[in-house]
Amino acid sequence: MGLAAGPAAVAGAAEGAPADEMAAPVTSSRPDLKEGTVARAAFKQGVADYDAGHFQQALIEFQTASALGLPEVHFDLAETHRALEQLPEAISEYEAFLAARPEGNPYAAQARGAIAELEGKVAHLDLATDPAAALVVDGQRRPLPGAGQALRLMPGAHLVEVSKPGRIPFLRSLELAAGERKRLEVTLAASDAAAPLQTSGAKRANDVTLSQPASPPRRPLYRSPWFVAGVGAALLGIIAASAWAMWPRHCETGGEVVGCVKP
């Protein structure tokens, strides 16, 4: 993997200090970083973890040392990321090391060579979108790349999400190859909730009108007085006819049977 220097060597190399000591320029230029400080302890533990092959733990220790003001540790972070096959992160740390140390640092040339080598092993995504949007790649929040910069990604499949409040999120699955450079332009459309209300009465293109199903026509009700009277007379006629039909036969012969009353 090209770990020629290793964390133990780089810290003291700038001033010729022994490999197991801290870099002399750091301790001399930073009076607050004395023996026994958290930064020094974290750095020494990171070196021990790296030498033992415990790269993930070494990464944590070096990050602690770097956060407390040890710019040389960026080189150690780069080497550790490289050992963990985290190549985009390694390139970023090499660049941070070059930005933090003067040109005379003996490991500057090695950092530049590592950057040139690793750039061909990662993929590059040129993302053009709203600068106020949020970017999430493979479930991790990422800062938007600056103007003219590309997002470095490991080769393989990636899920890219761009979002902004009041806008419809953009979601895209990408397959990127080593050394490939791809451009992605993302325009976030306004969601319905955020779209301005139309005051001219014109309908928006994506408006949907919901309507209730039409009820079957009702049959008319006849409510005129003559119809009510006619219906009553017809009903009386039907009742009278029924009574006559039910009149017993012996009543027709004149029998004196109780109940023989003609209707």
Residue 3, pLDDT above cutoff 50: no
CA of residue 90 relative to chain centroid, distance: 25
Question: In this predicted structure, what is the pLDDT of residue 242?
Answer: 54
Mean predicted confidence (pLDDT) in 22-27: 35
Domain over 1-119 is classified CATH 1.25.40: yes
Question: In this predicted structure, what is the pLDDT of residue 248?
Answer: 52
Question: In this predicted structure, what is the pLDDT of residue 22?
Answer: 36
CA angle in degrees (0–180, nearest 5) for 179-95-101: 155
CATH fold of 123-193 reads Immunoglobulin-like (2.60.40)
pLDDT tens sequence across 93-112: 999 999 987 667 888 999 99
pTM: 0.61
Q: Quick one: tokens of 262?
A: 């003609």
What is the residue extent of each domain of the chain?
A: 1-119, 123-193
Mean predicted confidence (pLDDT) in 64-90: 91
Extended strands (E) in the chain: 123-128, 134-137, 140-142, 151-153, 156-163, 170-176, 181-185
Residue 231, pLDDT above cutoff 50: no
Closest to 68 (Cα-Cα) out of 40, 44, 31? 40
Helix (H, G, I), strand (E, B) or coil at 33: coil
Question: In this predicted structure, what is the pLDDT of residue 257?
Answer: 45
